[in-house]
Structure 1
Amino acid sequence: MFEPNLHIKKYTVIFLTFFLAGTVNSFSLLAQPTEVVAQKGDGIYRLLTRNGLPATEYMEAFIELNKERLGPDNSLFAGRKYKLPGRKAEGTLKASKPLTKPKGPTRNIEIFGKKYAEVEIIDEQLKGAVFHLVAGHGGPDPGAVAKYGDWQLCEDEYAYDVTLRLARNLIQHGATVYMITRDKNDGIRDESYLRPDKDEVCYPNQKIPLNQIRRLRQRTDAVNDLYKKHRGSFQRMVAIHVDSRSHGENIDVFFYHDKRSKTGEKAAHILKNTFQQKYDQHQPGRGYSGTVSTRNLYVVKNTYPVAVYIELGNINHRRDQQRFIIPSNRQALANWLFEGLVEDYKTNK
């Protein structure tokens, strides 16, 4: 049973999804797919809406139909023909594939939301590991903000969703996990557009201040207090953010660590190498330009556990946005981070 204001323990799930292909449900269609030509500057959202299809409902069906024609990060090529999914029959298209019925013991953790609250306990390969997960910004600070069609994308909402999914993965395999940034009513969401709010709190239930230094100090203190409680255990602080750069700059997931921490550097490289291997496996020839470097970041510098700070991509770039707005991509981000953290644990415990 999940107890409010206490740490989350020992639960998680792995969804074996491809990072940029995604999986898709069975769709009941009223017509065969038709083809349209992508115009200069088109993304999937713009193409679908221009042809009268709500992007939130048809995006994953479109990707499944056109996966052999898409560019990196599900981008479109101007002048190329793409298939449009037929319109669904009323009530037949669901937001996501139903979860499979758990076969093993389960726990109920409310912070993951109604759909994902029941968590199957798969194994205890991460028993003894403690993870402090810090989703960037939150409360009065949305972080980076961008537009995607008519949507406003806020960094804190997408970073939080990926962080929740990672927490669930880690917990299902025996880890002790603390969500430092918390939202009692969002849960894991399977929509493309994550509606922003300002009700996030800092562990255990502290109002997040507007002042940046006070906000960073608050979450650093929360992590350090928990670190002392688990002194002697394998511990990691993982901060998850979305970067903001020029609209034309397409970037891969990249990692920061404290310059004084060789263990942090090693952990960051393990995560980077995991992403490299996944891209090589699922998109041969794509390449991967993610980096590992040091940066003087307050939370990384001042938290006691070994720390890794992750930027998921550029919130202003059309291709990078597909990494965030497609739910199966957010799950794949969490899956790949999970796999890297497992490798880090096995080689450093």
Structure 2
Amino acid sequence: MSSSVLWAQQKATPKAGEGISSFLLRYNRSPKKYYDDFIELNKKQLGGKHVIKMGVTYVIPPVKKSTPYSATTSKSDEKKGTKDTKEAPNKATATSRTRVNEPLFGPKLAEVKVTSKRLAGACFYVVCGHGGPDPGAIGRVGKYELHEDEYAYDIALRLARSLLQEGAEVRIIIQDAKDGIRDEPYLSNSKRETCMGDPIPLNQVQRLRQRCDKINYLYRKDRKNYTYCRSIFIHVDSRGKGNQTDVFFYHSTKKVDSKRLANNMKDTFESKYGKHQPNRGFTGTVSGRNLFVLANATPTSVFVELGNIQNSLDQRRLIMSSNRQALANWLMEGFLKDFRASK
């Protein structure tokens, strides 16, 4: 029996939190080279939009021994050859990619071109608030209901994509297999969201603990491979209709790095407002809070409130897709500022 047949029979079960790319990387398979092979070998076992399922055994594509070294294959992979390993991917493997495929972004945007390495060595846990049975705050514009979880999720996806373009590793904690990044102003509401495949509990404490547990599980491995790991929790506030608010940030009361991150985020937004709306000013704030997720997520974290979902002016910040993209871009630049400051 040839070695290629032996490799074709190699099978494994994904770990919690893994997508196809991270699953392939764990077995030293570059996603760029092996993603399509994996889909073809396992198409009957995959969920919708090529989502891998916990508890299901998948065939690992055989190593292409004749394939020359590519930009997405690390030198470590090259030395190991076809040797299998169950260790997490090393830093070079995770940061040397030129393209990333993430189905959660939707068919048109799933293919992500890595355009810089400014965030190489960084890993982010991106979490939109609420989800599943809990829509969060609800605002109204005419006949439309604006659900906090839908707008926070869209901005979270846009942020995740921006971070990937900068060479970072990204874990999208709350997921909707159908929505993708959407450009329409009034986002349809659903209860499909999961915590990386697991149903989201209605009970608030259970819901928050679930996402913190997921982050902490991933972080225990990621901290060995990335020099900078950060979590972001994205929310939309709800206040009186006449109360216009700028984006504001909460940090952990017990972590100095969390406060620095929140301040770097706020400084970035202040700078952007000064450039794009110089006559308006920026009144966003930074403050410490003993919020559950800030206290229980192990990585340094920041909690972001994007505005008041009841206020008509703040609603424009949410319903215009260009504004949602700007928020995501500025959050990414806030991370970039903090990443540089951490060195």
Q: TM-score, normalised by structure 2?
A: 0.71
User: Residue in 1 aligned with 2:213?
Assistant: 221
One-letter amino acid matched to 2:138: V
* Higher RCO, 1 vs 2 (CA within 8 Å, ≥6 residues apart): 1
Count residues with an aligned counterpart. Answer: 253
User: Residue in 2 aligned with 1:186?
Assistant: 179
**Superposed displacement of residue 276, structure 1:** 0.4
Sequence identity of aligned pairs in percent?
51
Q: 2:278 aligned with 1:266, yes or no? A: no
* Per-residue CA distance 1:232-253 (angstroms, 9 max, x = gap): 4311010000000011100000
Please, which of 245, 251, 256 is the counterpart of residue 239 of structure 2? 245
Q: 2:313 aligned with 1:319, yes or no? A: yes
Q: 2:184 aligned with 1:172, yes or no? A: no
Please, which of 109, 117, 129 is the counterpart of residue 116 of structure 1? 109
**Superposed displacement of residue 175, structure 1:** 0.6
User: Residue in 1 aligned with 2:18?
Assistant: 6
**Superposed displacement of residue 295, structure 1:** 1.2
Unmatched 5+ stretches in structure 1: 11-103
Alpha-carbon distance between aligned partners in 2 of 1:117 and 1:297, rounded to the nearest angstrom:
33
Alpha-carbon distance between aligned partners in 2 of 1:109 and 1:132, rounded to the nearest angstrom:
15
SS of corresponding position for 2:229: strand
User: Residue in 1 aligned with 2:143?
Assistant: 150
Alpha-carbon distance between aligned partners in 1 of 2:98 and 2:218, rounded to the nearest angstrom:
27
Contact kept, 8 Å, 2:249 with 2:305, in 1: the verdict is: yes
Alpha-carbon distance between aligned partners in 2 of 1:107 and 1:210, rounded to the nearest angstrom:
33
One-letter amino acid matched to 2:100: R
* Per-residue CA distance 1:322-347 (angstroms, 9 max, x = gap): 00000000000001011110111111
State the superposition RMSD in angstroms: 1.7
Question: Which structure dedicates a bigger proportion of its chain to helix?
Answer: 2
Contact kept, 8 Å, 2:270 with 2:282, in 1: the verdict is: yes
**Superposed displacement of residue 105, structure 1:** 4.5
**Superposed displacement of residue 119, structure 1:** 1.1
Alpha-carbon distance between aligned partners in 2 of 1:326 and 1:194, rounded to the nearest angstrom:
11
**Superposed displacement of residue 106, structure 1:** 3.2
User: Residue in 1 aligned with 2:51?
Assistant: none
SS of corresponding position for 2:245: coil
One-letter amino acid matched to 2:102: I
Query: Matches of residues 1-349 of structure 1 in structure 2 within 5 Å?
Result: 5-6=17-18, 105-203=98-196, 205-232=197-224, 233=226, 234-349=228-343
Alpha-carbon distance between aligned partners in 2 of 1:253 and 1:240, rounded to the nearest angstrom:
11
SS of corresponding position for 1:278: helix
Contact kept, 8 Å, 2:17 with 2:214, in 1: the verdict is: no
One-letter amino acid matched to 2:220: K
SS of corresponding position for 1:319: helix
Alpha-carbon distance between aligned partners in 1 of 2:238 and 2:175, rounded to the nearest angstrom:
23
SS of corresponding position for 2:336: helix
Q: TM-score, normalised by structure 1?
A: 0.70
SS of corresponding position for 2:266: helix
Unmatched 5+ stretches in structure 2: 1-13, 26-96
* Per-residue CA distance 1:201-227 (angstroms, 9 max, x = gap): 002x11101111110110010011011
SS of corresponding position for 1:312: strand
One-letter amino acid matched to 1:261: K
User: Residue in 2 aligned with 1:64?
Assistant: none
Alpha-carbon distance between aligned partners in 2 of 1:260 and 1:109, rounded to the nearest angstrom:
34
Alpha-carbon distance between aligned partners in 2 of 1:147 and 1:323, rounded to the nearest angstrom:
14
User: Residue in 2 aligned with 1:98?
Assistant: none
